[in-house]
Structure formats: structure tokens, C-alpha cells
Amino acid sequence: MNLDELYVLVDTRQKIIIDKIQKLPENWKNIAGLSGLTDEQLSDFKWAGYEHYGWIKLNSPSLNDYHSSSENLELNKNTFKKLVSNFKKEKILDGIEYQGIKFTADEKTRYSLFIKKLSNLDTVNYKSFNKYYTLTKEQIIEICDMIEERIQDCFDWEMKIYQQIESCKKITDFLNIKL
């Protein structure tokens, strides 16, 4: 998760944040290719006929000049939480590695391994990333435990981040969150 890629839409005249944090859109209004513009060009669209509008990078020092309503702060807290949750899902799907074998931690893998763990078979053939492996019951148990530990670690990480987000008093406080 990279906070350097996040921006907010601002009203440059009222010095207020008017939208949620997000990746810079490719197009805005009738302006195409925002990612090709400099931060200076993005920060004020007078040049494009949109006086009083601009996109400010979340980690820009100039964002300290802007404030947000309590409603906008809550919107941004929820938006940030959603970004964190999406990142957590990616971390879970990265899975685990066991004895040189990569296993995803998606629901399908978890349930199929859990069923094999409950079976009375001493060994099972299991396919992971288009390759078959013969695994013992003990190995299946270890893999299941590792996957569950990975998932719990990801949820614990997410909870800590949520707590930090809730304590933020302004959007620029997001930059102090320890990801």
C-alpha cells in the first residue's frame, strides 16, 4: 500500500478538501492524462478553466493548508479503511510457502485443505499452482495452521491500522499511520 499514490480534490479558494482520498484519476472533467501533469499543475486548474479546483497529493506539505468538514473526515476515514481492507485481502492471497511449495490462502484452498485435514487418509495428492504434490496428513495440518496464522496476522494488522485511522483528527494525520 503506497500513500504516495493518493490524492484529494480540493477547493483552492476556500482551502477545503471536497472529495475522498483516491488514486489520481486518469481523466477529470474534460482534462485527460492527469498522471502526466506535475504536482504544481494538478494543484490548481485555473489554467484549464476550473478556477478554485485542484488535486493535492496526500503526502504533500501543502495539504496542511487545507481543512475538511467532519463529514469529509469521516468519509476519508472510511475510504482509507476500505483501502486498508483491500490491501489486507491482497496480503492474504499472497499466501504462504511451505517446504518450497507456494499455497494461496483463498477460501477455496483453505476449505479443500481443511477437508483433507479431516480425512482419514495418510497421504493426499494436492495441486498448487498447476503442479501436484504428495503430502502427508501431518504436512496438511502444518499447512492449514500456517495459512490460518497468516490470515489472523493480516486481520490483526488491519485492526491496528483501523485503530490508528480512528484516532486521526485531520486527513494529514493519515501520514503518521504505521503501515
Q: What is the pLDDT of residue 3?
A: 81
Q: What residues in the chain have per-residue pLDDT under 70?
A: none
Q: pTM of this prediction?
A: 0.83
Helix, strand, or coil (residue 15): coil
In the DSSP assignment, the letter for residue 120 is S
Q: What is the pLDDT of residue 101?
A: 96
Q: Say if CB 126 and CB 116 are below 8 A apart.
A: yes
Cross-strand pairs, 16: 11, 67
Query: Rounded mean pLDDT of the chain?
Result: 94
Alpha carbons within 13 angstroms on the beta-carbon side of residue 77 total 17
